[in-house]
Structures are given as C-alpha cells and as structure tokens.
C-alpha cells in the first residue's frame, strides 16, 4: 500500500528540490568543485533548509518561544569548502575561568579550555574553545568569535560554532565556518547571548556561515 506523505514532509521535499534547482541554475555545479565538494555543498544547503523549517515551526524556536517574531529565511554566505579546517584541540595548561557578559549586561562564567589553530589568508589563526554549563548543569564546549565581517555582513555581537570535545587528545577536529550561526539575540530582543571577548577576534574576513538577520 502506498504511504501518503504528510504535509510537513511535502514542504521539506519541495524545499530541498528548490535548493538543488537553485544550485544548478546559479552555476555552482558548473564550477570546478570535486564531486565530494559538490556533495558537501548540497548537504550544507539541506541543513539550512531544515533549520529554516524548524525556526518557523518549532514552538521552542526564538521566533515563537518568547513572543511571536516575524520570520524570514535566515541569511547566509554562499557555502564555501575553503572555510573548512582541521586542527587538534590544544588545551591550556592553566585553564582560567573568565567573566563574560551577556547582551543584557549580566555576567557569566566560562572556562577558557584550549584553542584550535589553522592558517587562513596567510595568517596563523588561533580560536579559543570555551567550556560552559547550561542552567541545568550540563557541560558544553563552544567557539564564539568576531572577525572583519562583524557588524557589516555578519551579526554585530558575533557568531558561534558548536564544538564536540572528544576524549582522544590526538583527535583531529573539523572547524567548519559554513556552520557558524547567530545566537538567538540576533532574532529577538527577548534573549541575551554571550558577547565574544577581544581575545576572540580574528583579523580576517570569514565570509562563511550565517549573515545578519536584520539589515
């Protein structure tokens, strides 16, 4: 017996079709990308389409949870495989607990755990990895940063990259700026988010990941 697609599945499938069509007509598949890079680009575009769907429909999204906020598709730089890097996590010998501030002025604590390093635009880049805790006490690791696009093409507070720490000290991490995202305060003033410190600024243009939501 044929299975009937639910309306939300039809929407997702239609969105993915439009993405693939857009990629084709924009010429992205006619550029000199390897088959692996083309597959990677399509995967990131698919993730973005799913995130738009969730942001619009999920009751816990920042567009719904604390008062209804007008939704538009999130804005992104074009997917660029050249903004994907590899690095070990270099732990600091002295892991300092620092005070950072939220956008509503409240102090927060975070552990400056280590850094990842790579080369971009002929510069040696170091990005701090922080360890924090949710209100329920669950630990998490994260990179937050500002760069030359901040407050121009990208969100003025800064952007975030999730970081999944592994137990293996020799593990090679993927640092993918195409996954850089805005904190919730980029969409709604009802949220407060951590402000990257001056030590989290990288003196290059990271034209990858999410752009400003409000122009």
Write the pLDDT tens digit of every residue in 167-186: 999 999 999 999 999 999 99
Residue 59: inside a domain, yes or no?
yes
Residues 6+ apart with CB under 8 A from 97: 109, 110, 111, 112
CA atoms within a 13 Å half-sphere pointing along the CA-CB vector of 114: 14
Using CA atoms, how far apart are residues 50 and 40, in angstroms rounded to an integer? 15
Q: What is the pLDDT of residue 212?
A: 97
On whether both 99 and 168 belong to a single domain, the answer is yes
Residue 81 pLDDT greater than 70, yes or no: yes
Beta bridge partners, 146, equal 201
Co-location of 63 and 161 in the same domain: no
Q: What average pLDDT does the structure give for the chain?
A: 90
Do 51 and 106 fall within a single domain?
A: no
Q: Judge whether 215 lies within some domain.
A: no
% of the chain with per-residue pLDDT over 90: 82
- Residue 159 or residue 22, greater confidence: 159
- Residue at 196 is within a domain: yes
195: closest CA among 126, 145, 120?
A: 145
Which has the minimum average pLDDT: 23-32, 46-55, 113-122, 188-197? 23-32
């Amino acid at each position: 017996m044929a299975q009937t697609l639910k309306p939300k599945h039809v929407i997702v499938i239609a969105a993915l079709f439009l993405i693939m069509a857009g990629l084709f007509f924009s010429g992205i598949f006619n550029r000199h990308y390897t088959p692996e890079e083309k597959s990677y680009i399509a995967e990131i575009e698919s993730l973005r389409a799913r995130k738009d769907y969730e942001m619009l429909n999920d009751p816990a999204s920042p567009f719904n949870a604390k008062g209804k906020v007008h939704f538009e598709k999130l804005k992104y730089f074009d997917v660029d495989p050249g903004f994907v890097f590899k690095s070990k996590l270099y732990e600091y010998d002295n892991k300092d607990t620092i005070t950072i501030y939220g956008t509503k002025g409240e102090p927060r604590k975070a552990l400056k755990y280590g850094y990842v390093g790579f080369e971009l635009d002929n510069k040696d880049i170091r990005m701090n990895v922080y360890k924090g805790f949710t209100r329920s006490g669950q630990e998490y690791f994260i990179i937050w940063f500002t760069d030359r696009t901040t407050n121009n093409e990208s969100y003025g507070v800064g952007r975030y990259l999730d970081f999944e720490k592994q137990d293996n000290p020799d593990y090679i991490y993927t640092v993918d700026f195409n996954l850089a995202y805005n904190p919730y305060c980029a969409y709604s003033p009802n949220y407060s988010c951590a402000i990257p410190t001056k030590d989290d600024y990288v003196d290059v243009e990271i034209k990858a990941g999410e752009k400003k939501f409000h122009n």
